[in-house]
Structure 1
Amino acid sequence: MPISNAAFVRSTVMLLIGGMIALLGIVGTSLWLVHKVEGYFTGYIEVREVRSAASDLLSTLKDLETGQRGFVITGDEAFRAPYDAALAAVAEKQQLLSEKAARFPNYAARMPEIERLVKDKLQELAETVEAVEEGRQAEAVAQVKTDRGRVIMDQLRTQLGDIMGNADNRLQEGVTDTVWSAGALQWTTVIGAIAIIGVLGGAAMVVAQYTRDILAARREVETLNATLEKRVDERTEELIRANQEVQRFAYIVTHDLRAPLVNIMGFTSELQASLAAIQAYVLADGKAPSPDDILEARRAASEDLPEAIGFIRSSTKKMDGLINAILKISRDGRRELKIERVDIKALVEAGAAAVGHQVAESDGVITIGDTLPTVISDRLSLEQVFGNLFDNAIKYQAPDRPLRVSVTARNSGRAGFVIEFTDNGRGIAPEDHERVFELFRRSGTQDKPGEGIGLAHVRSLMRNLGGDIVVRSEFGQGTTFVLRLPPDLSKVVRSMQA
C-alpha cells in the first residue's frame, strides 16, 4: 500500500530515532556492565589478598608452634631454626593482614582480637622456650601439656578461618557476578544488534514501498471490493518478497561477479610484471641484455605469461557462465506466459517417465497421487519446475537405500493447491533451507556437478506463476518441496494488472 510523503518522513524519523535509542542503549549498558566487571575484578583481587594474608599468618603460627614443641620436647637446638624463622615472620604477616583487612569493616573488626591472641600465643611460646634454655625442661613440658596454648591456637584458627571462609564466599559470589555480567553483556550486544538490524530492515522496506508506483496503487485501492483488507495484505506481502529478492539478487551479482574480476585484475598485474621482464630484454637500446634479464624474460614468456593468461581465461569463462545463468532467469521472467489448462498429474507422469530409467537403476520407485489437480497455468514453466525437482532427487539420492519419490496434492481453498514433492535422499541441513533457493548457492557435500541455479530457477518460475515454493527437510532423512499454485493464473494476472 502506498504511503504519503508525511508518512514516509514520519516513518524514517521514527526508525532513525529507534536506531539511535538502540545504539545508545547498547553503548550505555555495555559501559555499565564493563564498569561492574571491573568492580567485581578489583574486589576479587582485594578479597583474595586478605584470604592469602590470613592463610599465611595461620601457617606461620603453626610453623612457630611446631618448632616450639619440638624444641621443648627434645631440647634439640635443630628445632630452634624453624622456630626463630617463623617468629621473625609473624610480625610481617600480621602487619600485612592488618593492611589488607582495613579495606573491609567486618575483617578490620576482628583484627584487635586476632592481635591479642597472637600476642598471647607468642608469650606462651616464649615462656616455654625460655624455660628450656634455662634448664627447666620439665617445667616447660608441663606448661605445654596445659591447654593454654591449644586454646589460644584454636581461637586463632577460628578467627582466621572465619576470615578465610568469608573470603571464599565473597570470591565465589564475585565469580558468579562476573559470569552473569559477561552473559548480560553478550545478550545486550546480541539483542542490540538484532534491534539495529530490524531498524535497518524496516528503513529499507519503507524506502522500497515508497518507491512503488503510487498512482497504480491508488487506482487499485479504488477498485477493490469487499475483500479489500485481504488483497492489501497479499499485495504488501508480495512487495516485501519482491524487495527481498531484489536485495538478494543485487548481492549475488555484486559478490559472485566481482570474484572473477578480482582474479582478472590480479593476473593482469602479473602480465604487467612479466611484460616488464620481456621489455628489459627486447628494448635493451642496443645494449646486450644481461644473463639475468635473458633468464627473467624466458621465464616470463614460458611460465608467467601462459599461467596468467590461463587464469584470466578461466575467470572470464566463469563470469560468462554466471552471466548466462542470470540471463536465463531474466529471460524466464520476461517470457510471455501461455495460459492454458494443464493436467498436473499427466505432466508429472511425463516427467517421471523421462527419468524412469535412472530411478530404476537404484531399484527406486516414483509414486504419483490421484489427487493431483488440473489448473489454468503455463505448461512450459511447470514442466521445467518438475523436471528440476526430479533431477535433484536423482542427483542427491542417498547411496545406502533405493530412491523413493512421491508427488501428492491437496486443495487449500482460496490459497490454491498445495503440491508436495517428497524424496528420501540426503536431505538438507536446517540452516540451508532458504539458502538452496538463492542463485549460485548450494548446500551439503559438493560431489555433484552444478552451478547452483536449479532451485533458484524453480522459485523464479513458481513466483512468475503466482505461487511459491518452500522446503521441509531433515538432514540424512529426505526432503519435501512444498509448491503453492493458484488454480487459475489468468485471475492472478488480471488482479496484478488491476
Structure 2
Amino acid sequence: MVRHGSRAGEQLGLSKAEHAPMAVTAAKSSRHALGQVILLAAGLVVLTLISATSVYLVNKAREDAGSALHSMEVENEISLAQLEMRRAESAQRGFLLTQHPDFRSAFERAASHIPSSFERLKALTVDNPHHQQRLKEMIPQANQRIQQLRHSIDLALANRHDEIVEIARQEAGRDAMGQIRDLGSEMRAEEDRVFAERTASADASQSLSASITSIGSGLVVVFAGLSIFLVRRSSRARDVAEAQLRDNNLNLESTVEQRTSDLREANDEIQRFAYIVSHDLRSPLVNIMGFTSELEELRGDIFRRIADLRQPGGLPPPAEDPAAAVEPVLDEPDKQLSQDFTEALGFIKSSIAKMDRLISAILSLNREGRREFHPAAIAMRDLIENIASTVAHQAAEADAQIRVEPLPDIVSDRLAVEQIFSNLIDNALKYLKSDRPGDIAIRGRRKLGFTIFEVTDNGRGIDPKDHQRIFDLFRRAGPQDRPGQGIGLAHARTLVRRLGGTMSVSSELHTGSTFTVTLPTAWAGVDQDKQS
C-alpha cells in the first residue's frame, strides 16, 4: 500500500511538472494581453482627446474667421452708405450747376440706395449696442440731408436760385455731412478693433491646433511603435501557444471520439434497459391481472357461502351451475364488506390498466428513439389538413373549428412531423372549454433558415408555473379530468429536438395556449440525439 501511494505521488509530481510551463506561459500571455489592453485604452483616450481638442480649435478658428469677415462686411457697408451719401450730394451739385436731368436721375438712384444700405447695416450690427446707438444718430441726419438736397433740386426746377444760394450760405448741409462722416469713422474704428481681436484669436486657435496636431501625431507614432512591438511579441507568444495546443490536441480527437462512443453506448444501454424493464414488467403484470380476475370470480362464491352460513339450517348443497346462482342476500355488515371488496378490486384493475398503458408508452418511446429519421420534402398544409380530417369527428363533438392557414413547406422526417402536430392538435381539442365554441389555428412563417409554426387555441390555458412541467415525462398540469399519461408533449418535444428545432408554449389560464414549433426549413438529416 505504501509503495502504491508513493508511485501515485510520483505520478502526481510529474503531472505538475508537465503543467508548470503551460501555467507560466498562460500567466505571461495574460500579462501581455493586459498590457496590450492598457496600451490600446491609453492610445484611444489620447486620440480621443486630441481629436476633440482639434475639432474644438478648428471650429473656434472658423468662428473667429467668420467674425473677422463679419467685421469686414460691416466696414464695407458703412463705406457704401457714406459713398451713396456723397454720390447723392455730388449729383445734386451737378444738377444745380447744369440743370441736366441725368444728374437728377443719379441723385434719385443714390437716394433710393441709402435706406436699404442703412437697413443692412442695422441687421449686421444687431448684436453691437455701440453701432446701434450710432445708427440711431446717423440715419435721421442722413434722411434730413437727403431731404435738404431734394429741396434744393425742387427750388432749381422752380428757378428760385436766390433761395438756393441762401441755403448754401447757411452751411447746414456741410455740418450734417461732417457728423455723418464722424459717426461712420467711429463705427469703423470700433470694427477695426474687433477685427484685430478676432484675427488675433483666430491666429492663436490655428497655432494651438497645429501644435496639438503635431503633439498628437508624435504620440500616435509612439503608440504605433509600441503596438507593433507588442503585436510582434504577441505573435511569437501565439506561435508558441499554438505549438503547445497542437501538441495537446494530438490525443484530443481520439479522446473525444472515445467519449462520444461511450455516450452512444450508454444511450443504447439505457434504451435496452428501458426495453428490458418494460418487457419484464409485463410478465408479473399479466399474472397480477389473472389473479385479480380469479379473485373477482371467487368473490361471488365467498359472499354466497357467507350468506348461506347466516341462514338457519347451515349450508345448502352447491349449485350445479355457479354462473346461474343468484346474488346472495347479505346482512348490512356483510353487504358493506362486499362493496369494499368490489371497490378494492376495481382500484387494483384500474391501476393495472394504467401501468399497462405506461409500459406500452415506454416501449413506444423506446421504439421511436431507435427509429432512424429520413429527410423528405413535406407539403405542410396538406399534412396538417390530413391530420385535421382525422380528428374532424372530435372537433364536431367539441363544437370547434380547425383553421389551417397557408404554411411554408419544409424538408424533414414526415412521420416525426406528423406525430408532433397530431399531438398538438389532439391536445388543443382535448383541453377546449365547454362554455364557448372552440377555435384552433395553425399558421407558419420562415425566418433565417428556420420555419416557425404556431398552434393556437382558445381553450382553458396553462398556468405559467406549469409551462415547463407539461414537457416532462409522465407529468401533467391542471385538473386531471382528461384521459392521458403525460407522455405526448414530452415525446413531441424530443422529436422536435432530434430534428434540430425547439418547442415552447405561451399561455395563461382561461385565455388559451400557443405552442410554437421551430424547425429547420431544410433539415440535413443529422439526428441531434444520435449526434450527441
State the TM-score, normalizing by the size of structure 1. 0.39
- Kindly indicate whether structure 1 or structure 2 has the higher relative contact order, using CA contacts under 8 Å at least 6 residues apart: 1
